[in-house]
Amino acid sequence: MNCSLRCFCLTLLLACAGCAKDFPRPGGTCCGPVVAPDELDGPSVFRASLKAHGGDRLALLNDVAIALDGRWKFLIRRIQPLVTDFRYRVRSEERLLLADRLYAADYRGPGGRKQVLRQPQVAPDAATLVAYDGVASRDPDVRQSTALTADSFFLFTLGPLALAEHAAAFRLLGSRRERGRDYWLLHLDLVPGLGESAADEVVLWVDQETQRTHRVQITLEGYVTTQGANVDVTFRSFTERDGFLFPSAFFERVRAPIAIDAHAWCLTGLDINRGLTLADFDGGDWSGAAERPAASPDVEGACLD
CA angle 101, 107, 111 (to 5 degrees): 145
The helix (run of H) or strand (run of E) holding residue 7 is helix 3-16
Give whole-number Cα distances, 281 to 142, 276, 286, 288, in Å.
20, 9, 5, 9
Distance CA 295, CA 281 (A): 20
Note the pTM of the prediction, 2 decimals.
Answer: 0.91
Backbone phi and psi for residue 72, each to the nearest 5 degrees, phi listed first: -95, 140
Dihedral sign from CA coordinates of 275, 277, 279, 280: positive
Phi, psi of 58 (to 5 degrees): -60, -30
Question: Nearest-5° angle of CA 178, CA 179, CA 185?
Answer: 20
State the pLDDT at residue 79: 96
**DSSP code for 258:** S
Other CB atoms within 10 A of residue 150 CB: 24
- 10 Å Cβ neighbour count for 33? 9
- The confidence score (pLDDT) of residue 295 equals 84
- If residue 242 lies in a helix (H) or strand (E), which one and from where to where? none
Q: Residue 293, exposed/middle/buried by CB under 10 A (0-12, 13-18, 19+)?
A: exposed
Question: How many Å apart are CA 52 and CA 243, to the nearest integer?
Answer: 9
Terminal Cα-to-Cα distance of the chain (whole angstroms): 29
Using the CB atoms, write b or e for 156-176: b if 16+ within 10 Å.
bbbbbbbbbebbebbbbbbbb
Q: What is the DSSP letter of 292?
A: S
Contact by Cβ (8 Å): 216, 156: yes
Residue 284 is predicted with a pLDDT of 86
What would the pLDDT profile of 229-250 be if each residue is shown by its tens digit?
999 999 999 999 999 999 999 9
Question: Residue 8: its pLDDT value, please?
Answer: 41
What pLDDT, on the 0 to 100 scale, is given for residue 187?
98
For residues 63 and 274, is the Cβ–Cβ distance under 8 A?
A: yes
pLDDT score for 304? 61
Report, as ranges of residue numbers, the positions in the chain whose pLDDT lies below 50: 1-20, 301
- Give the pLDDT confidence score for residue 184 in this predicted structure: 97
